[in-house]
Amino acid sequence: MRKFALLLFLLNISFLFAQKEVSGVVKENTGNALPGVNIVEKGTQNGVSTDMNGAYKIKVKDGATLVFSYVGFAKLEKAVTSAVLNVVLSEEGGQNLDEVVVTGTRTAPRSNTTSALPIDVISAKDLASTGQASFDKALQYKIPSFNTVQTPVNDATSLLDPYEIRNMGPSRTLILINGKRKNMSSLLYTQTSPGRGETGADISAIPTDAIERVEILRDGASAQYGSDAIAGVMNIILKKNTNYGSVTLRSGVTSEGDGEMLGISLNNGSTVGDKGFVNYTVDFSKVNLANRPGKVDAAAEANGNTGFGAPLADVQAFLAKYPDAGNVNGSPETAAAKFLVNGGINYTENTQLYYNAAYVYKKVNSFANYRTPYWRTLDEYPYLLDLFGDGTNPSSYVGYVPTFTGDLNDYNATIGYKSTKNEWNTDASITTGGNKQSYTVSNSHNRSVYSNGDFVYGGSSPISFRPGGTSFNHIVGNLDISKVVSDKISIGFGSEFRTENFEIIAGDEASYFGVGADSFQGNNPENSGKFNRYNLGGYFDVAYDVTEDFLVNGTVRYEDYSDFGAATVWKVSSRYKFLDDKITLRGSLSTGFRAPSLHQIYTQKSQSSFEAGGAIVVTGLINNVSSAARQNGIPKLDAEKSNNLTLGFGLKPSKDFTFTLDYYNIKVKDRVLLSNEIAFEVDTNNKPTNRQSFFVNGMDTKTSGVDVVASYRNILLGSGKLALNFSGNYTFENERDGAVKDPQSIKNLSGPLANQTVIDATQEALLFTSRPKFKYIFGGDYEIGKFGFSLNNTVFGPTKFKNAGMSDDLRIEFLTKVVTDLGVTFSATEKLTVSLNVNNLLNVLPEWQFKAENAAGTALINNAVGIKEQSNLITFNQRYSQMTYDGYHFSQLGTMFNLSLNYKF
């Protein structure tokens, strides 16, 4: 018995000596420590968990393998080769935020710098470092090929600004949430601004604090994801952390003392039982009006050719009190409430239920152009003294400014089920989403007679109207199956069913009768209604690793729509890496398509627009399936088709330095455009009348350019570390390819109606040159002790406009400018961080000049009187001091100070 005890003792001693201690830190792929991670020595019951700082310590046998697991993150196995083992967990099994991406392939995820496609990866920290109040504006200062800017006095456009990648318009970038299609907005941009005639998803509604990272695929991807992916795909990956929460208090103000912003956001997460997780975000914000009106030119205002034809003395008397003519021109007052939840349950090691949902409410208050007392006069409309004066004293009437209030509701939700069986990966999900906008116009009136049983004149007009609105929703079902067949071949296939519903909501009668509410006409019942369609698509994807370094990937997709037919598209991409993955050559060739949206097919309305010279005119938009369209020979819309070519390379000579350069060439055939107003009739004086616009497959286009992204991190500077970054986009060409495709009925017009075209120089400028010719972002981040500093310079290249009504011998050009942003963060404690951002540190403002198209243009520029008339024409007599009515290339608000406090708990 004593010998047996001695033997056990010796065995225990030998076992202890065979063990060694391993320690380390576990982080998520955004750099945050992960408390509560389960760490088990493989094949044993020996295990520990990480502490609040993500640290762990465990004794294991020689040659052991540690298994790291945490709800919401992929399991990771690591062999023990040293006494210190630090690891990073990620959703898809990646080792680093900028190394593994899930966008752009339907098979296994690939490394970013060695992928076959150009992909930008932006972390939550990157977004926060910009100091911008909304997600879309943060992207503006992080992604060179992404552009968005607020537009001046454009009614419903104030609810969400048009954005675009590679100058392709908002409708040609597909937005995904955790890999699933997000709903489009119900808003159709119909004013003269960038994005005219298109619609896109409301990405500004997504709370920034809910985002873990953003993956932007800068390549045509219709074959992989379906319609709308001609320019690229933006995949927004939501946070999953469950170990901590944070509260962020944000505030801001412009250097002019307006545009005050105040917001509070809560992001938190927790485990649900032993196998589930949930992460949620609640965000409230309020931004006040920032006003940047110009000083109105009295002489031009009184000039009958470019102004209102009012007596100069009357104009001067009013402008002496109100130099800006009462105009409100800047960024609108906005209030928003945003809610988002992301979660999942791992039923077994190979099955997971996942879900996410979001709801956003926004209220935006903006203004139309001020109706001065010499514009809407008492001589013409004597009842205005009762509506907007005291009813007796004419001097009490000083005009009025119609207000526009928009209420936006946006939601999206996905529930899905993932499983792995016999190495087959299955992902089945259903997604729903919608967007509804309703409008209110106040401090206005209807100048027409409107009918409500009896005929009542304008003096009895209400001054507040409900013009109706729009609504859009979709339901999307997805089934995606993939398998790594061998060490060389991966396959993926699946299907998508989508049903879409679009509604034009009628307004109250006074808002649409006759000329309708002054500034914004309501939707009449004849133009309102509900419209829907469905489509079914399927794809097959195969990736073949010819060698460890040489990859070929191919995808084919078939999609069939209920309203215009089917499309088959394909994509082939390839990558070759060498020198131990330090250099990667890559390229892709693909075809694509974009179905015209229900908005473009069915929208029909009357609208007020600014006409060069100061007039506000009411025009009509007829849809392509209406009787009016048939009578005028307007054809139904067809799908856009595209050809995309991308060629590039990536360098990663060290773990700290990366460089990618990609050339792209996009050709779009039968591009869907909103036409000019075309007159199909003449009045009794034989002058064109009854002008109408409509959607048409108006032209073919070609776009090419280059994207470059470079970063150098972990540069030792003193006792701190410096990271440098440079990225840029340069457009080689963005122009019409061939002649404008005028319908035959317009070509056949004669006499006073002859020589009209659906797309003129003004519309082409909005399409092709209203976004920067180039944009570069260069900056650095420096971390030392508890402080972090960032300095970024964004170079906005020139934008060009051919404004309506101006001389054909001229164009205007917004000059190249550099906007500098400074950020300072201070980690006061482990839990409290204070951040100060000074955006546009040097108060750089947009600046434009006239440019001559020819010798006649040069002569006009040198003619002080003539060029002043041109300037007044495109600025509404100087109401827009830093821009034209059509837009500009970056914010006109100047310096903005932002202070935020973040507390982790």
pLDDT in tens, 314-355: 999 999 999 999 999 888 999 999 999 999 998 888 899 999
Q: Is the pLDDT of residue 359 over 50?
A: yes
Span 225-250, average pLDDT? 91
Give start and end residues of each alpha helix (H) in 785-888: 855-861, 864-874
The pLDDT assigned to 787 comes to: 94
Q: Which two tokens stand for residue 393?
A: 């004293």
29 confidence band (pLDDT: 50, 70, 90): low
Using alpha carbons only, give the angle 146, 200, 185 rounded to the nearest 5 degrees.
Answer: 140
Q: Is the pLDDT of residue 746 over 70?
A: yes
The pLDDT assigned to 149 comes to: 85
Of 108-122, 533-547, 627-641, the one with minimum mean pLDDT is 108-122
Span 347-368, average pLDDT? 93
Residue 628 backbone phi and psi in degrees, to 5: -65, -40
Instruction: Provide, for the chain, the percentages of residues in helix, strand and coil under a 3-state DSSP scheme, each rounded to the nearest 5.
Output: 15, 50, 35
Q: Which two tokens stand for residue 338?
A: 């945003």
The pLDDT assigned to 903 comes to: 95
Of 509-513, 517-521, 886-890, the one with minimum mean pLDDT is 886-890
Q: What order of strands is seen across the sheet that includes strand 605-611?
A: 605-611, 615-621, 688-693, 678-682
Residue 877: closest CA among 113, 427, 304: 304
Length reported for the chain: 905
The pLDDT assigned to 106 comes to: 55
The pLDDT assigned to 454 comes to: 55
Q: Which two tokens stand for residue 584?
A: 């990667």
Strand partners, 234: 175, 216
DSSP string, 439-496: EEEES--B-S-EESSSEE-GGG--SEEEEEEEEEEEEEEEEEEEEE-SSSEEEEEEEE
Q: Which two tokens stand for residue 635?
A: 């054809």
The pLDDT assigned to 114 comes to: 56
574 confidence band (pLDDT: 50, 70, 90): very high
Span 773-785, average pLDDT? 94
Q: Give the span between the Cα atoms of 708 and 820, in whole angstroms.
A: 20
Q: Which amino acid is at 317?
A: A
Residue 511: closest CA among 498, 522, 500: 522
* Per-residue pLDDT reduced to its tens digit, 194-210: 889 999 999 998 999 99
165 confidence band (pLDDT: 50, 70, 90): very high
Q: Is the pLDDT of residue 487 over 90?
A: no
Contact predicate 701/657, CB 8 Å: no
Cβ burial of 478 (10 Å; 0-12, 13-18, 19+) is buried
The residue that leads in pLDDT, 303 or 761, is 761
The pLDDT assigned to 433 comes to: 98
Contact predicate 555/106, CB 8 Å: yes
Q: Is the pLDDT of residue 592 over 70?
A: yes
Q: Which two tokens stand for residue 734?
A: 């963005």
The pLDDT assigned to 606 comes to: 64
With tokens 């010796």, the residue in question is 10
The pLDDT assigned to 429 comes to: 97
- Mapping DSSP to helix (H, G, I), strand (E, B) and coil, where does residue 747 land? helix
Q: Is the pLDDT of residue 122 over 70?
A: yes
Helix (H) or strand (E) holding 766: helix 761-768
Contact predicate 73/544, CB 8 Å: no
Q: Give the span between the Cα atoms of 461 and 175, in whole angstroms.
A: 43
Q: Is the pLDDT of residue 123 over 90?
A: no
Residues with Cβ within 8 Å of 868's Cβ and at least 6 positions away in sequence, in order, are 297, 300
- Mapping DSSP to helix (H, G, I), strand (E, B) and coil, where does residue 11 land? helix
Q: Which two tokens stand for residue 332?
A: 């609108």
48 confidence band (pLDDT: 50, 70, 90): confident
Q: Give the span between the Cα atoms of 192 and 419, in whole angstroms.
A: 49
Of 32-36, 117-121, 580-584, 656-660, the one with minimum mean pLDDT is 32-36
The pLDDT assigned to 269 comes to: 93
The pLDDT assigned to 447 comes to: 84
The pLDDT assigned to 112 comes to: 54
Q: What is the mean pLDDT of the chain?
A: 88
Contact predicate 840/820, CB 8 Å: yes
DSSP 8-state secondary structure symbol assigned to residue 192: S
The pLDDT assigned to 158 comes to: 79
12 confidence band (pLDDT: 50, 70, 90): very low
Q: Give the span between the Cα atoms of 510 and 512, in whole angstroms.
A: 6
Cα→Cα distances 351→40, 393, 425, Å = 21, 77, 10
Q: Which two tokens stand for residue 822?
A: 């400074």
Q: Under the phi-then-psi rule, with left for phi > 0, alpha for psi from -120 to 50, and beta for the rest, what region is 274?
A: alpha
Radius of gyration of the chain (CA): 30
Q: Is the pLDDT of residue 366 over 50?
A: yes
851 confidence band (pLDDT: 50, 70, 90): very high
Q: Is the pLDDT of residue 15 over 50?
A: no
Of 631-635, 660-664, 720-724, 877-881, the one with minimum mean pLDDT is 877-881
Q: Is the pLDDT of residue 308 over 90?
A: no
Using alpha carbons only, give the angle 53, 58, 61 rounded to the nearest 5 degrees.
Answer: 155
Strand partners, 249: 264, 901
